[in-house]
Structure 1
Amino acid sequence: MQKNAPATGPEDDASYLRRVRLRDRPNPAPRGIYDLAVVGAGPAGMAAAEYAARLGFSVALVERDHLGGNSLNTGSVPSKAIIRTARLYGAMRNADEYGAPAPYEPALDFSQAMARMHRIRTRIAAYHSADDLATLGVDVFFGSARFTDARTLAVNDARLHFRKALVATGARPRTLDVAGLDAMGCYTSATVFGMAALPKRLAVVGGGPLGCELAQAFCRLGAHVTIVQNNAKFLPREERDAAEILSRAMARDGMEIRLNTTVVGARRDGAAKVLETVNYDVKGEVRADEILLCVGRTPNVEELGLEQAGIAFDREKGIEVDDFLRSTNAHVYAAGDACLALKFTNAAQASARIAVRNALMRARERHVDIATPWCTFCDPEIAHIGLQVWEARRQRIAIKSFTVMMQDVDRAITDGEDTGFVKIHIAEGTDRILGATIVASRASELINEMAVIMSAGIGMKALAEMVHTYPAQSDAIMLAAQAWRREFDKAVRAAPA
């Protein structure tokens, strides 16, 4: 049984609901055949609807819950707001390192921290509100959508006919099939931001991006956090040295870490919730006041009538699409978490725009050709783009990596944020950049520079000559390129005349 988020004052006011859910306004009357019908108004659906409408196409957008999807309501926006509070609170404890007076025991008002998160969520909701969509010409329908045939959607009592459709229904938190866990009550990412009070003891199950982010944030806010990960390292998509730096950082924060540990049962012991665990053959337990499950996401593909529209799908992987995001129904495309393995907001938005161009403008853009950066917003942040080392080995691509430690970057030293590195992977024998991993306090910003560099086809030779502001943490990128240039120049000098 998942915990239900308690009612929160700021979220109940008319301004928030006016932006994300117009319960009292009737749906518009369908108008003929829509150029594009979009199912789901999360990041992918909103991006597609707005983009198509601005291009002059007629658009219907269907949402069964709240506009903005997980990203706005239960994902990126609220989590980053809480992480910001946690980072500030953690820094206050170390103020004396910077010559500032350190409070003996900083007082945290958890309800005010959550209220700030609600205000931020309401403010951001204004940029993609139902009223703004209507002004663009998008017909917004609230209700559950279901395909009745290859070219028709049913929404409540209405029928929406379309030339093309886009399924962007996102994904939901996955749960664990563990005896006793469901009856005990657990939070997931869908409910944790309705938490009314900070638990004294919090058990986090799952060491992926969201699990690590929230575990570190709640630890810094004052909870005793135990994180349980069934893998040998955190962040399985990241390089081992990056994951190791994060593990050490979380241990320094006071977190209790259980790697290679599987939850096999759950029970109550008085007021305590107890997770029964196994580490190899050793049995153990984790005692907590609350449990947070962060064990992946499942695509929302049920109850859409996909079979009636001839759309193939898998309950775990989502809708089956080709490289152009077209489903097995040539009139229906998919984007975002409903079909992609990378379940990130930026990937969802980018895939949605590609789908619109392919569906309505006869483009032939392949979503697999995009180098999508991602970031885990812990402290330090861990970001990546492009090819991973193990992918290069599997594809038999010879690479060479150039690494600059943040402890050698002037701005990182002055900021007292010198943990981490910038590592850039090059196709051996060339200056072509294939990928990069960045571990730094501002990795989420630094990786965007790498995204521009790679998208523009800029190589290490040109990058080494680019002038950066000084001092800046992005100097690490320039220093890596200059290291490549020194090696290149040395090879040129050593070559026979």
Structure 2
Amino acid sequence: MTIQTLKLEISGMTCDHCAKTIEKKVSAVDGVVSKSVSYPEKKGEFQFDSKKTSAKEIIDAINSTGHYKVVGEIKKENEESTQFDLIIIGGGSAAFSAAIKASELQKKVLMINDGLPIGGTCVNVGCVPSKTLIRTAEQFHFANHPNFSGIKPGNNEIDFKEVIRQKTELVEALKEHKYIDVLKDDDNVTIIKAYARLLDKNTVEADDKKYSAENILIATGSTTFVPDLPGLKETGYLTNETLYELEELPEHLIIIGGRYIALENAQMFARLGSKVTILQRSNRILPDEMPDVTETLKEYLEEEGIEILTGTKINSVNRKNSKVIINASVKDEEKIIEGTHIFIATGRKGNTKEFGLKELGIEIHKNSFIKTNEYLQTSIPNIYAAGDVTGEYLVIYSAAYEGSLAVQNMFGENQTKKDYSVFPYVIFTDPQVAGVGMDENQAYENKIEYEASTIQLKDVPRSLAARNTKGFIKLIRDKQTDKLIGARILASEGSELLMEISLAIKYGITVKELKQMFHPYLTLSEGIKLAAISFEKDVNKLSCCAV
């Protein structure tokens, strides 16, 4: 059903408090998505899921107060249309970015979404809940393990249920303010809550009704790729869609996987108080990173009590009473791992089943992802795909970029190729892993005569003052041109250094020019300057602020 908007004239309000009272009363109606009541205008606007409630129930809730009365409904001028310029299937970052761009171009847009609520993976079960929980765990960890000897840790305890409640509160607030509120008053955009199915290249069916459009954008996102392990399905497991809904802290969390989702959650739950074991198939965590990054991070994680088993092949999974039991071969040695919960973090797969893609001949590749060309077109030219469902860069900012770019290419006079030549990324462990551009292997493969310069954080004044010297900053330059071509950073808040390096790479700033820039003393960004200087000099032989 459509997420419907109900506009009402309301009598009896005498102040802003009255408006708040009505909003609170309507909030108790199951299915209400958003509410906004204005005392000066004597009006209220409500969005609701018509599968769960109705306009009558909302009106009855207002009238039941006895003080306020609905005196009329403000009707829409136009009846529902089935013809649009663009139909978007999905409701996450790529979908919203596309809808906003299309509306700016004065195109009529229909967004069809079901499964995860509006906002998609990031705000509901990905970036937002994980990062706020990571920050919670970080504060708890440093309260109990301060870096300064003059601070005596107390008997700090965690209220896990309250942590989850506060996480949910943030998710709901951002979902409303950054998604629902953004489009609710946009006359160019209609949102329907339903599962969609492509009938042909211009027609989509949703809730037994057919809609047509000049162009279609598939932005259905991704879900956890669950490996076919004997006994796993019967034993039960958690994914990112269920992990953040737990109300009790796992006693012993076993994580299958060793990339960014696995590592972020491993450290977060370990800091909150869980025992954590990581089972990684390859011989290194983060196998796409260089060994200096992965081995140093592994050492830090193990110092916090996280057990990391690499080169692991899982033979079977089963449950005995309250325990989950994994039989595995760890570097050819048989091992039994017992825990209380299993979290699957073995990669992602595209949400492409049951949309009619196969019947239409849309090409799929890798783990059920949609194959697109450099303009984000699928194998059918007027059908585009953007975001996680393409399987290229599975982060919110690339999804937003692709959603907007796809619309620009649909309706613009000139098509623009997607450009990921300078793409910064972050893994939110502590210390963070931050990277942009090429690493040494990629420079070698591209036949670039490169040089790397690494400065340890123990040589960065800000890190010394903070008594947090874990990690390093590594810059990579083209020796022939002196231009930066990449960087890898392992540092607390290392992500905050990425944009300076990204801009330097994009606009061809040389290492010499970077060294000449003023970098305030006792900032982490000074580490970039020191790493640049260390291409030519030993910074240990320089005084503070010396060049």
Do the two structures share a fold, i.e. TM-score over 0.5? yes
Tell me, yes or no, if the aligned pair for 2:195 and 2:206 is still in contact at 8 Å. yes
Q: Work out the CA distance in 2 between the residues paired with 1:31 and 1:459.
A: 55
Q: What is the aligned partner in structure 1 of residue 491 from structure 2?
A: 440
| Shift in alpha-carbon separation, 1:96–1:214, aligned structure 2, 3 A | closer
If you compute each CA radius of gyration, which structure gives the higher value, 1 or 2? 2
Q: Work out the CA distance in 1 between the residues paired with 2:266 and 2:537.
A: 42
Letter in 2 for 1:344: V
| Shift in alpha-carbon separation, 1:410–1:164, aligned structure 2, 3 A | same
Q: 1:113 aligns with which of 149, 157, 163?
A: 163
1:345 aligns with 2:345: no
Q: 1:59 aligns with which of 94, 109, 121?
A: 109
Please state whether the residue corresponding to 2:129 is helix, strand or coil: helix
1:201 aligns with 2:252: yes
Identical positions, percent: 27
Tell me, yes or no, if the aligned pair for 2:147 and 2:468 is still in contact at 8 Å. no
1:479 aligns with 2:540: no
Tell me, yes or no, if the aligned pair for 2:436 and 2:488 is still in contact at 8 Å. yes
1:23 aligns with 2:49: yes
Gaps of 5+ in 2: 1-26, 36-46, 56-77, 539-547
Tell me, yes or no, if the aligned pair for 2:475 and 2:487 is still in contact at 8 Å. yes
Q: What is the aligned partner in structure 2 of residue 184 from structure 1?
A: 235
Tell me, yes or no, if the aligned pair for 1:265 and 1:276 is still in contact at 8 Å. yes
Tell me, yes or no, if the aligned pair for 1:30 and 1:160 is still in contact at 8 Å. no
Q: How far is the alpha carbon of 1:453 from its aligned partner?
A: 2.7
Range with greater deviation from structure 2 (127-136 or 336-345)? 127-136
Q: Work out the CA distance in 1 between the residues paired with 2:162 and 2:483.
A: 49
1:455 aligns with 2:527: no
Tell me, yes or no, if the aligned pair for 2:88 and 2:109 is still in contact at 8 Å. yes
Q: Work out the CA distance in 1 between the residues paired with 2:104 and 2:491.
A: 38
| Shift in alpha-carbon separation, 1:217–1:303, aligned structure 2, 3 A | same
Q: 2:207 aligns with which of 134, 156, 162?
A: 156
Tell me, yes or no, if the aligned pair for 2:324 and 2:340 is still in contact at 8 Å. yes
What CA deviation, in whole Å up to 9, does each residue of 1:237-257 have, x standing for no partner?
A: 222111112111111111111
Please state whether the residue corresponding to 1:190 is helix, strand or coil: helix
Range with greater deviation from structure 2 (94-103 or 292-301)? 94-103
| Shift in alpha-carbon separation, 1:279–1:460, aligned structure 2, 3 A | same
| Shift in alpha-carbon separation, 1:348–1:98, aligned structure 2, 3 A | farther
Q: Work out the CA distance in 2 between the residues paired with 1:338 and 1:13.
A: 35
Q: Work out the CA distance in 1 between the residues paired with 2:472 and 2:246.
A: 35
Range with greater deviation from structure 2 (187-196 or 18-27)? 18-27
Q: What is the aligned partner in structure 2 of residue 360 from structure 1?
A: 411
Q: What is the aligned partner in structure 2 of residue 38 from structure 1?
A: 88
Q: 2:261 aligns with which of 191, 207, 210?
A: 210
What CA deviation, in whole Å up to 9, does each residue of 1:164-202 have, x standing for no partner?
A: 221111100111211111111111111101112002111
Please state whether the residue corresponding to 1:207 is helix, strand or coil: coil
Letter in 1 for 2:171: R
| Shift in alpha-carbon separation, 1:263–1:413, aligned structure 2, 3 A | same
| Shift in alpha-carbon separation, 1:155–1:112, aligned structure 2, 3 A | same
Please state whether the residue corresponding to 1:70 is helix, strand or coil: helix
Please state whether the residue corresponding to 1:136 is helix, strand or coil: coil
What CA deviation, in whole Å up to 9, does each residue of 1:82-120 have, x standing for no partner?
A: 1011101110112373522311x3211100111111111
Letter in 2 for 1:452: L
| Shift in alpha-carbon separation, 1:265–1:409, aligned structure 2, 3 A | same
Q: Work out the CA distance in 2 between the residues paired with 1:127 and 1:143.
A: 22
Q: Work out the CA distance in 2 between the residues paired with 1:129 and 1:367.
A: 25
Q: How far is the alpha carbon of 1:392 from its aligned partner?
A: 2.1
Q: Work out the CA distance in 2 between the residues paired with 1:194 and 1:430.
A: 51
Q: 1:330 aligns with which of 381, 399, 409?
A: 381
Range with greater deviation from structure 2 (412-421 or 48-57)? 48-57
Q: How far is the alpha carbon of 1:29 from its aligned partner?
A: 5.9
Q: Work out the CA distance in 2 between the residues paired with 1:415 and 1:335.
A: 41
Please state whether the residue corresponding to 2:343 is helix, strand or coil: strand
Tell me, yes or no, if the aligned pair for 1:92 and 1:106 is still in contact at 8 Å. yes
Please state whether the residue corresponding to 2:516 is helix, strand or coil: coil
Q: What is the aligned partner in structure 1 of residue 349 from structure 2?
A: 298
- Aligned pairs for 1:245-256 within 5 A: 245-256=296-307
Please state whether the residue corresponding to 1:147 is helix, strand or coil: strand
Letter in 1 for 2:158: L
Q: Work out the CA distance in 1 between the residues paired with 2:338 and 2:497.
A: 39
Q: What is the aligned partner in structure 2 of residue 413 from structure 1?
A: 464
Please state whether the residue corresponding to 1:372 is helix, strand or coil: coil
TM-score when scaled to structure 1? 0.90
Q: Work out the CA distance in 1 between the residues paired with 2:158 and 2:389.
A: 38
Q: Work out the CA distance in 2 between the residues paired with 1:326 and 1:92.
A: 50
Q: Work out the CA distance in 1 between the residues paired with 2:501 and 2:355.
A: 39
Please state whether the residue corresponding to 1:38 is helix, strand or coil: strand
What CA deviation, in whole Å up to 9, does each residue of 1:109-152 have, x standing for no partner?
A: 10011111111112211233334313123111110111111111
Gaps of 5+ in 1: 1-11, 488-497
Range with greater deviation from structure 2 (133-142 or 84-93)? 133-142
Q: How far is the alpha carbon of 1:32 from its aligned partner?
A: 5.5
Q: What is the aligned partner in structure 1 of residue 176 from structure 2?
A: 126
TM-score when scaled to structure 2? 0.82
Letter in 2 for 1:442: E
Q: How far is the alpha carbon of 1:364 from its aligned partner?
A: 2.8
Q: What is the aligned partner in structure 2 of residue 494 from structure 1?
A: none
Q: How far is the alpha carbon of 1:486 from its aligned partner?
A: 6.0
Please state whether the residue corresponding to 2:183 is helix, strand or coil: helix
| Shift in alpha-carbon separation, 1:224–1:486, aligned structure 2, 3 A | closer
Tell me, yes or no, if the aligned pair for 2:349 and 2:391 is still in contact at 8 Å. no
1:261 aligns with 2:317: no
| Shift in alpha-carbon separation, 1:29–1:134, aligned structure 2, 3 A | farther
Q: 2:126 aligns with which of 69, 75, 79?
A: 75
1:382 aligns with 2:444: no
Tell me, yes or no, if the aligned pair for 2:239 and 2:344 is still in contact at 8 Å. yes
Q: How far is the alpha carbon of 1:154 from its aligned partner?
A: 1.2
Q: How far is the alpha carbon of 1:206 from its aligned partner?
A: 0.7
What CA deviation, in whole Å up to 9, does each residue of 1:252-290 have, x standing for no partner?
A: 111111111121101223321101110132110110011
Letter in 1 for 2:85: D
Letter in 1 for 2:311: N
Q: What is the aligned partner in structure 1 of residue 453 from structure 2?
A: 402
Tell me, yes or no, if the aligned pair for 1:16 and 1:122 is still in contact at 8 Å. no
Letter in 2 for 1:316: N
Please state whether the residue corresponding to 1:213 is helix, strand or coil: helix
| Shift in alpha-carbon separation, 1:337–1:29, aligned structure 2, 3 A | farther
Q: How far is the alpha carbon of 1:450 from its aligned partner?
A: 2.0
Tell me, yes or no, if the aligned pair for 2:350 and 2:391 is still in contact at 8 Å. no
Q: How far is the alpha carbon of 1:54 from its aligned partner?
A: 2.5
Q: Work out the CA distance in 2 between the residues paired with 1:129 and 1:317.
A: 27
Q: Work out the CA distance in 1 between the residues paired with 2:229 and 2:203.
A: 40
| Shift in alpha-carbon separation, 1:17–1:461, aligned structure 2, 3 A | farther
Q: Work out the CA distance in 1 between the residues paired with 2:537 and 2:418.
A: 36
RMSD value over aligned CA atoms?
2.3
Q: What is the aligned partner in structure 1 of residue 372 from structure 2?
A: 321
| Shift in alpha-carbon separation, 1:311–1:216, aligned structure 2, 3 A | same
